[in-house]
């Protein structure tokens, strides 16, 4: 069996329920949650968005929200001031430029304040099921450990290699599976390597044993 197939089948058996863990009730709410998720956990984002979306559920209401109230609502997140400003500006532009609807074109998405390539990929995959391989901290770390990407690769380079390594129809699924594996077993500081199904070809494991 090809190694890419082995990785896929093993992770699928381990995490059959792997999915996006951000809570949202609409395309717009997902875009806000994704924007807020930079450098923080999905659990923290879900705690904050529960209050935020109760007050401002859509682009129209969030565009009109007082910035100070947005800062107060998302205060527990890192970078809360810039994130508050960005979600408000993003909502305003969605209202002004896209008639209140989140665009589905990658270029239009990344033209919105706070939405970079990774965020756009998450939105495209989750909402529109467009094959995409968003590379977050877990995906990046594991792609290096499993020798798919190299140590010094940029996120863009790691993404290119992951796209080549796994078939296109598995990109979205592999993204979720790698994140679940990273959170559950292959953490940055204390990976559980002893009985890991990938430890015979993992670069991190080789370093530990040398
Ligand atoms: Fe992660 Fe350890 Fe498994 Fe390597 S052997 S993939 S570092 S858990």
Give the rounded percent of residues in the chain with a pLDDT score beyond 90: 85
What is the whole-number distance in angstroms between the Cα of residue 68 and the centre of ligand 1?
44
Q: 83, 35 in Cβ contact below 8 A? A: yes
Ligand 1 pocket, residue 185 CB under 6 Å: yes
Q: What is the pLDDT of residues 62-99, one digit of tens each?
A: 999 999 999 999 999 989 999 999 999 999 999 999 99
What is the whole-number distance in angstroms between the Cα of residue 88 and the centre of ligand 1?
40
Predicted TM-score (pTM) of the model is 0.88
Ligand 1 pocket, residue 191 CB under 6 Å: yes
Both structure tokens of 70: 């947005």
Q: 39, 78 in Cβ contact below 8 A? A: yes
User: Given the structure tokens 């190299």, which residue do they identify?
Assistant: 150
pLDDT number for residue 143: 97
Nearest CA to ligand 1 atom 4: 202
Contact partners, residue 58, CB within 8 Å, separation at least 6: 26, 28, 100
Domain 27-126: CATH superfamily is: Hypothetical protein; domain 2 (1.10.340.30)
Ligand 1 pocket, residue 181 CB under 6 Å: no
The mean pLDDT value of the chain amounts to: 94
CATH architecture of 3-17+133-209: Orthogonal Bundle (1.10)
User: Which of these, 178, 182, 155, lies nearest to 166 by C-alpha position?
Assistant: 178
CA quadruple 153, 146, 20, 69: dihedral sign: negative
CA angle 140, 183, 74 (to 5 degrees): 90
Q: What is the pLDDT of residues 140-174, one digit of tens each?
A: 999 999 999 998 999 889 999 999 999 999 999 99
Q: In angstroms, rounded to a whole number, what is the distance separating the alpha carbons of residues 37 and 33?
A: 6
Q: What is the pLDDT of residues 179-205, one digit of tens each?
A: 999 999 999 999 999 999 999 999 998
List the chain domain ranges. 3-17+133-209, 27-126
What number is the average pLDDT over the span 43-56?
A: 97
């Amino acid at each position: 069996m090809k190694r890419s197939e082995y990785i896929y089948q093993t992770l699928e058996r381990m995490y059959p329920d792997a999915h996006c863990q951000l809570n949202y009730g609409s395309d717009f709410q997902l875009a806000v949650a994704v924007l807020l998720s930079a450098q923080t956990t999905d659990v923290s984002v879900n705690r904050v968005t529960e209050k935020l979306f109760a007050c401002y559920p859509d682009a129209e209401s969030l565009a009109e929200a007082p910035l100070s109230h947005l800062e107060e609502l998302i205060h527990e997140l890192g970078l809360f001031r810039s994130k508050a400003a960005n979600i408000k500006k993003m909502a305003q532009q969605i209202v002004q430029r896209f008639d209140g609807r989140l665009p589905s074109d990658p270029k239009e998405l990344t033209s919105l304040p706070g939405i970079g390539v990774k965020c756009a990929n998450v939105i495209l995959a989750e909402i529109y099921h467009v094959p995409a391989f968003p590379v977050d901290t877990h995906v990046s770390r594991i792609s290096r450990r499993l020798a798919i990407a190299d140590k010094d690769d940029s996120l863009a380079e790691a993404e290119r290699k992951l796209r080549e390594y796994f078939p296109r129809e598995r990109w979205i699924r592999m993204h979720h599976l790698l994140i679940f594996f990273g959170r559950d077993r292959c953490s940055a500081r204390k990976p559980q390597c002893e009985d890991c199904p990938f430890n015979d070809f993992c670069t991190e494991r080789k370093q530990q044993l040398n």
